[in-house]
Structure 1
Amino acid sequence: MILVTGGAGFIGANFVLDWLAAGDEPVLNLDALTYAGNLENLASLRGDARHVFVQGDICDRALVARLLAEHRPRAIVHFAAESHVDRSIHGPGAFVRTNVEGTFTLLEAARAYWSVLTGAEQEDFRFLHVSTDEVYGTLGADDPPFTETTPYAPNSPYSASKAASDHLVRAWHHTYGLPVLTTNCSNNYGPYQFPEKLIPLVIANALAGKPLPIYGDGLNVRDWLYVGDHCAAIREVLARGRLGETYNVGGWNEMPNLEIVRTICALLDEARPDPAGPYERLITYVTDRPGHDRRYAIDARKIERELGWRPAETFATGIRRTVAWYLANQDWVAHVHSGAYREWITANYAGRGAPA
């Protein structure tokens, strides 16, 4: 069995579904079910004995220790995190608590558990920490992409909290010998992504005839990684990664936000045309967010060289799959657009010059 934290969120749920589709090793899934955790993401696993779900907080040391003692997982795959930059600007405390204190709690519980294992069980145990490229800060237009040795320079409360968690994981390996692995990924997209993020927000707003908010000039560049490719990379790192190492996981798809939005609009024009006209008419430029990093780019050659992983999806194929999934799963979309979500959208966008 493996323990997955945050396995009801976007990337975590995709990983759990992917893991159980690929084999029969059970998953113990620990998730607090905060705003972005959604058991509907895992509806296809209802009644599946291979999936054991526990609602709980990674900051609860007693709970984590009990789960480790009872279920004796051979690995922890740690996704649980607060992960939206805009939310971190509005409320940084939750990010420090979950991303820093929560990771510390997990590391200490894992260290206590691992230290009393013996033989092959101790030798084979792994703690895999899933992180972000945002810890490296921002790049200029002509700068080389981030590598695993790029100095950390986080610029938002979110990225600072993830950088802190990365440093804790590294220290627990070097100080205590805990067998850790870290992945730093670029922007994920795909099924089950919470609709505050750019791609699902644009799809939902376009279908509803609402403005498509673009921060600043829309030319902030990100590297885009299809979530299924990310899950495959994590499986490879867990299976064969070198202890104590970091692996950058990217999609080799650098693209400005404005181009992302225009691509989605074109796909929607094709799949579900609006009688009122092309969806691009809804693009609305709004006030940029504070400290908005200009460009991220991942150099993913290390994971390809050492583990043979490369993304299977191009952005063209991945975004087409993503738009098709959202069009086919409008009930899921409707359910996550709760009152709390609507209140957040109003709070985040009302002051930027765009109707929520």
Structure 2
Amino acid sequence: MRAAIALVAALMGIAPAQAAIDCWIDAPHPQTADRLPSGHVSVAPLQHALQQLNALLHRQPALQALPRSRLRSSWQIAGQWTLPARGAHFLLRDHRESMWLGRCDLVKGADRLEPRASIVIQVNQPEAFFATAVPELRDEQFSAWREIFPTGQVQGRPLYDGHMLVITADNRLPWVPVTTADYLDFTERDLMRRHAEARAALDSQQAAMAPAAREAQIQRVVEGMRRVDPAQAARLEQELRASLAAESRAIESSAARRRSRGLDEDPIGRQLDKLRAYRSRLGAAELAAQARLGLNGLQDDVYPADRYPALVRPDPDYPWDRLQPSRPQMLMVSVRGTGEFEAPMADVLGQLDIAALERLVRKAP
């Protein structure tokens, strides 16, 4: 590879940059996440695409000329459980000299040290496009993340969050805005769940404090003591009854203080009322507009809308090729560098063969 780079440079009449990396280790995982051999015919298109990705990066001169380090590329195909297409994870990262072993190897556990240079490529995994793995909102019907925005361009393509490219066959983004109606629906479900849990806890506490229940509890304890030490049973019964009376007085006193201070006895119920009143004031266009995290009518002091993060979710209508679930259909490409690798990795990002990446997700005619 270095000889080829030098030959091309010589033919062009320029002095080639000296490659500083010590070696490059390829480490594909031998199995998919659901334990198929990586060469299984059902995952052949994805395995071939990952090999092409690796070869594409091997051909990039800016990577060969990184500061002194060893590079390792590793990849694994995911299992196909719930997504309409099989995913895959590809990682290229540097390893400092303290992690080197032999002529071109690494010590066990070398990945414990954070990379200074990395390229992460996620295939067919819509949630990988968001800044955090955990969504801002999630229940059994809904997941939503903060929207990430372009911060620049690379070869005419938007660069998101300073490090990420989105590659799809028709440039369609794999996420869509969350509507205000969806957000309010989620908020109402969440409040109703919490309200039911609070009521159940209160009912359980009241049942446990009911005279019949406490009397039965005292009798069980006292009867047990009578079998062990009859002389102490009467004193224990008095102590338990005194403790119960004190506990009841404390609960009633606390409730009285809350009532005298005008504190809400049902705060979640009040929030539900507030949410529903807010929704009733919104028109169809406002309900269809993109939701903003925290802008749901529960805040007393409302800031300008642009102060609240915009919400998005994976596109439920994305046109997956379900007949070929092991075909690459979307790529998230993240390129990062820190310290002495920051500027070189910026060069890597600027020189990526984006046309080759686009060909990987383009459906064959």
TM-score tier after normalising by the smaller chain length:
under 0.3
Normalised to the residue count of structure 2, the TM-score between the two structures is 0.25
Larger Rg: 2
More helix by share: 1
